[in-house]
């Protein structure tokens, strides 16, 4: 299923959800949340390199799926690792079998910054993210114009939510910077190893410079590659599919953090 098909499913899902809680009601709920958010960017700035496990049950390819998925328990287990300073949490329901309830459950057992991963399209979802306990949200640059990206980032700041802007190429990096992104996720999924793409990644980092903290997803699957990412100036590595496919995420995380 391609991204356009997933977006259409998300729009239908949103319409159903808004029949139960409308936009005005969700905004009021979000504004009533007293818990301060935990800064993801601060976690990146205070460490040379962090690991960011993604709590989910289905791989991006849809090939691998956890038989027994208990998101709160998984979050507690991966959080024991010294280099794990934040978590991505998959909440998309129709394709990836996540839910807002998963993030709520993790919020109850974790003080780490929680980044909500979903197909965020509207202000309603931003209010919902604050309401369910997220500290940051993943925003896919390809789904927004520069103007609308600027607005969603500004709304995030108003709510105390940090926006992690996912980019795939130079053009999206330029738009993310123009929109005011303070955290950028370089989505590198098609590359088997960061070593083969180090020059391009280095060019991306030069473009971003000090305007945003940078994390990377994809192309990093062993301690040597994590170390290279650190040397390039990347502040965090997202591990999702790699953990699911490993069948032992505890041992895998210990291995990944062994050289940093």
CB contact at 8 A, 138 and 88: yes
Q: Using pLDDT thresholds of 50, 70 and 90, give the confidence band for residue 248.
A: confident
3-class secondary-structure state, position 123: helix
CA 60 to chain centre: 13
- Between the CA of residue 52 and those of 11, 39, 62, 113, 127, what are the distances in Å? 28, 14, 21, 10, 24
* pLDDT tens per residue across span 3-58: 999 999 999 999 999 999 999 999 999 999 999 999 999 999 999 999 999 999 98
The enclosing domain of 99 has a CATH number of 3.20.20.70
Structural domains in the chain (count): 1
* pLDDT tens per residue across span 46-95: 999 999 999 999 877 665 577 778 999 999 999 999 999 999 999 999 99
Q: How wide is the angle at C-alpha 93 spanned by C-alphas 90 and 98, nearest 5°?
A: 35
* pLDDT tens per residue across span 134-156: 999 999 999 999 999 999 999 99
Distance CA 63, CA 65 (A): 7
The residue range of the domain holding 247 is 3-259
* pLDDT tens per residue across span 155-184: 999 999 999 999 999 999 999 999 999 999
**pTM of this structure:** 0.95
Take residue 3 and report the two structure tokens written for it.
């991204």
- Between the CA of residue 227 and those of 147, 206, 209, what are the distances in Å? 36, 19, 20
DSSP-assigned letters across all residues of 76-105? HHHTTSTTB--EEEE---TTT---HHHHHH
Task: Compute the average pLDDT of residues 192-217.
Answer: 91
């Amino acid at each position: 299923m391609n991204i356009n098909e997933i977006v259409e499913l998300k729009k239908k899902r949103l319409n159903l959800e808004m029949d139960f809680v409308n936009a005005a009601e969700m905004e009021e709920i979000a504004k009533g949340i007293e818990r301060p958010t935990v800064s993801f960017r601060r976690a990146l700035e205070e460490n040379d390199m962090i690991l960011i496990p993604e709590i989910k049950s289905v791989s991006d390819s849809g090939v691998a799926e956890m038989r027994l998925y208990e998101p709160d328990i998984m979050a507690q287990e991966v959080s024991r690792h010294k280099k794990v300073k934040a978590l991505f949490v998959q909440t998309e329901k129709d394709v990836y079998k996540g839910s807002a309830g998963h993030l709520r459950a993790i919020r109850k057992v974790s003080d780490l910054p929680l980044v909500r991963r979903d197909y965020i399209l509207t202000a309603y979802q931003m209010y919902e993210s604050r309401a369910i306990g997220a500290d940051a949200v993943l925003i896919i640059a390809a789904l927004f114009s520069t103007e609308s990206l600027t607005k969603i980032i500004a709304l995030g700041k108003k709510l105390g939510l940090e926006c992690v802007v996912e980019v795939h190429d130079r053009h999206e990096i330029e738009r993310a910077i123009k929109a005011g992104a303070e955290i950028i996720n370089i989505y590198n999924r098609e590359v088997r190893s960061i070593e083969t793409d180090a020059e391009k990644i280095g060019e991306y980092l030069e473009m971003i410079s000090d305007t945003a903290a940078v994390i990377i997803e994809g192309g990093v699957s062993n301690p040597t590659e994590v170390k290279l990412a650190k040397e390039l100036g990347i502040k965090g590595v997202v591990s999702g599919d790699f953990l699911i496919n490993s069948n032992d995420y505890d041992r895998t995380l210990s291995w990944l953090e062994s050289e940093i």
